[in-house]
């Protein structure tokens, strides 16, 4: 059995770490490189850097930050935000990232998934899906531009299409749970994981150790991503892994 991965997510705006609730109300949470170095010492399996306003603000990718982080932090690094073209993917990987996360650009140009997977390998292409539950139906819609635009696309249908096009992983974020610390959206994660045959990284809602345990026990999720509980040190990654191991979840200690 493959070990379940614990992935801290560093949301970045203007070169600083930020965190909000339901994608809004952002507050400053520190320096990204210093936080990344702490996570590596604590035993994180991977790290995600997401420039959460790059697309909606039409800003360039933060290559300098990627390069400085890659020179000081040596766990696998996924970078997202403002990546729109094959050249962007190439530049981000060349700057030191191991994977790219594409969201709005994948919706606007699904061929980017196909071309990226062919050129760089599926293992480099993470398709991020921001999902929000529909009020009147048991389904979820895909949002883009940092959660600002409802595409009207069904999450399950889009997950299947992204997989067919060559996504290596899906980063699935519940917008309803984001920053709430009320636990992962088990039903959403279960539905998507059962619909595709590639790894799922679940995101949105982690507040306690038991939330991670519930996620891994009740869904086929391969990894759990979290932000604020790690940033503000409510939970230490090493302690979390020991807890999961004690409850028979395979993790890398």
Name the percent of the chain lying above pLDDT 70.
89
**Whole-number pLDDT of residue 25:** 47
**Whole-number pLDDT of residue 195:** 98
The backbone torsions φ and ψ at residue 127, rounded to the nearest 5 degrees and listed phi first, read -95, 120
CB 69 within 8 A of CB 77: yes
- For residue range 184-208, list pLDDT tens digits in order: 999 999 999 999 999 999 999 999 9
- For residue range 13-71, list pLDDT tens digits in order: 766 666 555 444 454 557 888 889 999 999 999 999 988 655 544 556 788 889 999 99
Catalytic residue numbers read 11, 130
Rounded to a whole number, what is the distance in angstroms from the first to the last CA of the chain? 15
**Whole-number pLDDT of residue 17:** 67
pTM for the structure as a whole: 0.92
Residue 215 neighbours by CB distance under 10 Å: 23
The beta strand positions in 92-204, using DSSP E, are 99-102, 125-133, 140-144, 149-154, 169-174, 200-203
Per DSSP, 71 falls in state T
3-state class (DSSP) for residue 3: coil
Is the domain covering 5-246 a CATH 3.30.830.10 domain? no
Phi-psi region at 70: left, alpha or beta (left = phi > 0; alpha = psi -120 to 50): alpha
Distance (Å, whole) CA 79 – CA 76: 10
Name the percent of the chain lying above pLDDT 90.
75
The backbone torsions φ and ψ at residue 203, rounded to the nearest 5 degrees and listed phi first, read -145, 145
């Amino acid at each position: 059995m493959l070990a379940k991965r614990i992935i801290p997510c560093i949301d970045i705006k203007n070169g600083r770490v930020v965190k909000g609730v339901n994608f809004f109300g952002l507050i400053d949470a520190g320096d990204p490189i210093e936080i990344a170095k702490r996570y590596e010492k604590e035993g994180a399996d991977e790290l995600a850097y997401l420039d959460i306003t790059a697309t909606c603000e039409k800003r360039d990718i933060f290559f300098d930050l990627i390069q400085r982080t890659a020179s000081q932090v040596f766990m696998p690094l996924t970078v997202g935000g403002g990546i729109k073209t094959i050249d962007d993917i190439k530049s981000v990987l060349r700057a030191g990232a191991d994977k790219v996360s594409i969201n709005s650009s994948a919706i606007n140009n699904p061929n980017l998934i196909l071309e990226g997977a062919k050129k760089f390998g599926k293992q480099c292409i993470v398709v991020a899906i921001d999902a929000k539950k529909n009020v009147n139906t048991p389904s979820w819609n895909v949002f883009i531009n940092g959660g600002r635009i409802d595409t009207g696309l069904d999450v399950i249908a889009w997950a299947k299409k992204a997989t067919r096009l060559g996504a290596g992983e899906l980063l699935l974020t519940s917008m309803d749970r984001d920053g709430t610390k009320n636990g992962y959206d088990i039903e959403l994660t279960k539905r998507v994981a059962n619909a595709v045959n590639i790894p799922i990284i679940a995101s949105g809602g982690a507040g306690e150790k038991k939330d991670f345990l519930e996620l891994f026990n009740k869904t086929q999720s391969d990894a759990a991503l979290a932000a604020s509980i790690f940033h503000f040190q409510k939970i230490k990654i090493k302690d979390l892994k020991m807890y999961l191991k004690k409850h028979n979840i395979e993790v890398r200690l």
